[in-house]
Chains A and B, each alone.
Chain A
């Protein structure tokens, strides 16, 4: 028994570790792919070199991040079988086809057209190249669609029946468009766009602070700030709707997010507290009266159920959910601050000269990644002790393995990812600090040898 508990804990840590590592890259590449498609579209339309310069700059960073996203994703697709084999056996009928569709509609599209996007400049015409960039961008969003459908179903299962402990579908549209899916999908895609926008804006700010006032960099800064000004408020709104959806379908998770032990009508909004799972109360609580109910139920004395309504065995680890939720929201507010300040400077003129604003932008480079990770921790830890909310417990999902093999493989994964991550950060930072080229050079530094394609794309001939 002890053995299998250790094994469960190690399995959870391993899954949390590998999936957290993975999501860092999609969070960036989903947005970056769309950004690249936009840059190339603008280039085709206006024929201005700066868009191409920016494209060539970001595509290198994209290639590295995408590669890391792919290799860590391949690990994910085997994790369900290796570490959660009982989960796979029981939910395979429902989740399997969703993941199958993800592979067939998204992964092949991304991986195949990536070839043309990265290596096809001299081989296909401009339109086809643009088409390939768009295919990759669309692929990333389709991929998010399916995986989030699968994940949302685990939070708010619908369209299923259970026979002999195995899930069967009764309606595919209910499975895919389950109650939390629209919110999660929008929230995640916007999160990815914001993450990318903050990297782009922070990079431009960094270059400007280092004395690089070139047109391409200022354009990049302005585009990013405008984008953030639209998306950050939208994200706040969708996040809020998402929270209401959680209140409706996973009230115990909401209680943990809000840190409420007792049921209240007219619940306060707890700003700071140290939740204590054993004592079933908060230490050092700092709260604004009634605000909690106002936000969640839109009335001053709406009821929010407290954790004590559920037996202790049904509650998620409160402190982790409570704190990760707060980190996400605070980061969201900071993003809003950048949006408001940025728009104001934009309107007044001199966006690219306000040093403090630029410094803030540099500091915010990791903000999106941190918010994404904390958001996922809120959602996933908040679902505990279930893998399929209310129906399948995490204990009944885990593979019959020994704690030894899981522990060993965990160590190896941590070690590997550490090397790869440090290397990735190193190469990406090098590119970011180098900044975009001042003018268009040849596509490749290597020996040029004209061959095969005589179609003029953007090889040496043109530049």
Chain B
């Protein structure tokens, strides 16, 4: 059991981060699309569609950060200074977009325009920074004696810039498919267009990242059995379902976006695509938690600490998932513009 603890926790944290990505992903995506909507009324509907849930969604980010501190303190301590600036951008951006929900509701005229922009740019920068962090991780964080010794700008490379853009578009995909589910009429038609367009860009990004990861790191390439120009099919075979499922999901997504009757499926397929991409990254990183310097076992907190928190997690996480699901259920269906307290 003790030997398994770090892996159980890596799994749970991985799950928490994934839940964060797809939940906050759609509400950030809505912020990114926000100024391009056709009317102020549409913008009101878009914001109202996520106003009840954004806070709960963001709590998964706190669980990701707090959880990393709790069960992999060495990874937390090594990683955070290495991505100090993008984390800072992300936090500041999240502040602006978070307060924009309340402030925008209470404003008119130029102030309302200001919080519109804060909501939009906050979402864009938060998404882009998360992409930068992802890019920095994929490229690996070199440590000396378990500590980060690099400069302030190691995270800034063409590749991380690219992953930044990729995450922005990925969130647009989630946001637009969420809107297909939550809205009607013109706004829904508009969302379908955005969804179709972002699907194409996301597919392109997936291809680029899938090709680049094995190029960037030998260990990751080896994991997939890729030794350009040769490929070790023995290694590759167990993982082949991942790209295959992704291709199927993309196809289904495109057809469902264009079908006039489906409302739920586009969102589910987008989440599916995110899940596959995430799984692909997990496979490339394993067993590292700070890519290619600190393994899950090396970074683990003492078994005692991981154990005491696991007891709580086993009981509490199902409860949290249950009431989160209940809340989404309460707010199911098309947006109700009459339910607020304002």
Report the separation of the CA atoms of residues A120 and B103 in the bound assembly, to the nearest whole angstrom.
20
Q: Does B36 contact A (CB under 8 A)?
A: no
Q: Bound state CA distance, A10 and B67, in angstroms?
A: 27
Whether B327 pairs with A78 at a CB distance below 8 angstroms is no
Q: How far is the CA of A445 from the CA of B342 in the complex (A)?
A: 7
Cβ-defined contact, A101 with B301, below 8 A: no
Query: Cβ of B320 < 8 Å from any Cβ of A?
Result: yes
* Min CB gap A209→B, angstroms: 24
Residue in chain A with minimal CB distance to B333: A452
B60 shortest CB reach to chain A, Å: 9
Tell me whether A97 and B70 are in contact (CB under 8 A).
yes
**Interface membership of B228, Cβ < 8 A:** no
When A81-B79, A121-B339, A427-B103 are in contact, do A107 and B62 touch as well, CB less than 8 Å? yes
Closest to A18 in B: B91
Q: Are A108 and B56 interface neighbours, CB within 8 A? A: yes
Which of B230-238, B244-252, B307-315 touches A? B307-315
Q: Say which residue of B61, B79, B102 sits within 8 Å of A64 (CB atoms).
A: B102
Task: Indicate whether A452 sits within 8 Å of B69 (C-beta atoms), given known contacts A92-B76, A104-B63.
Answer: no
Residue A423 is within 8 A (CB to CB) of chain B in the complex: yes
Supposing A78-B91, A101-B312 touch, asked if A108 and B59 sit within 8 A by C-beta, the answer is yes
**CB <8 Å contact, A96 and B74:** no
A444 CA / B340 CA spacing, docked (Å)? 6
The answer to whether the Cβ of A300 comes within 8 Å of any Cβ in the partner chain is no
Asked whether any CB of chain A lies closer than 8 Å to the CB of B259, the reply is no
Q: Are B95's CB and A444's CB within 8 A?
A: no
Return the CB mask of A111-132 against B: 1 if under 8 Å, else 0.
1111110111111100000000
User: How near does chain B come to A163, taking the closest CB pair, in angstroms?
Assistant: 9
Cα–Cα, bound, A102→B74 (Å): 20
Q: Evaluate whether A85 and B81 lie within 8 angstroms (CB atoms) in the complex, with A99-B70, A115-B327, A409-B88 already known.
A: yes
Q: How far is the CA of A448 from the CA of B336 in the complex (A)?
A: 9
Cβ–Cβ < 8 Å partners of B55 in chain A: 67, 70, 111, 114-115
Docked-complex contact B73 and A88, CB < 8 angstroms:
yes
> Assuming the A-B contacts A93-B304, A104-B313, A119-B52, are A111 and B59 also in contact, with contact meaning beta carbons closer than 8 angstroms in the complex?
yes
Q: Are B59 and A107 in contact (CB under 8 A)?
A: yes
- B309–A100 contact, CB under 8 A? yes
Tell me the complex Cα distance, A150–B74, Å: 19
Q: Are B87 and A82 in contact (CB under 8 A)?
A: yes
A47 proximal to B (CB < 8 A): no
Q: Which residues of B contact A119 (CB under 8 A)?
A: 51-52, 331, 339-341
Chain B residues lying within 8 Å of A451, measured Cβ to Cβ, are: 333-334, 336
Answer yes or no: B317 CB below 8 A from chain A CBs. Answer: yes
CA A404 – CA B151 in complex, angstroms? 11
A112 touches B323 (CB 8 A): yes
Q: Which residue of B lies closest to A67 (CB)?
A: B102
Residues of B within 8 A of A93 (CB): 73, 301-302, 304-305
Cα A18 to Cα B92 in complex, Å, equals 12
Given A82-B87, A92-B70, A104-B312, does the pair A416, B341 have CB atoms closer than 8 Å? Answer: no
A13 CB, nearest partner CB in chain B, Å: 15
Known: A70-B98, A105-B316. A96 touches B338 (CB 8 A): no
The 5 closest A-B pairs by CB, nearest first: A92-B73, A81-B80, A96-B70, A100-B70, A115-B52
Could you pull out 26 A-B pairs where Cβ atoms are within 8 angstroms?
Answer: A64-B106, A67-B99, A71-B99, A74-B91, A85-B148, A92-B70, A103-B62, A104-B63, A104-B316, A105-B312, A111-B55, A115-B56, A119-B339, A121-B339, A121-B341, A123-B331, A123-B339, A169-B305, A401-B81, A417-B95, A420-B96, A423-B103, A430-B106, A443-B339, A452-B332, A459-B338
Q: Which residues of A contact B (CB under 8 A)?
A: 56, 59-60, 63-64, 67-68, 70-75, 77-78, 80-82, 85-86, 88-89, 91-97, 99-105, 107-109, 111-116, 118-124, 168-169, 172, 399-402, 404-405, 409, 412-413, 416-417, 420, 423-424, 427, 430-431, 443-449, 451-452, 459
Interface, chain B (partner A; CB < 8 A)? 44, 51-53, 55-56, 58-59, 61-63, 65-71, 73-74, 76-81, 84-85, 87-88, 91-92, 94-96, 98-99, 101-103, 106-107, 147-149, 151-152, 301-302, 304-305, 308-309, 312-313, 316-317, 320, 323-324, 327, 330-334, 336-342
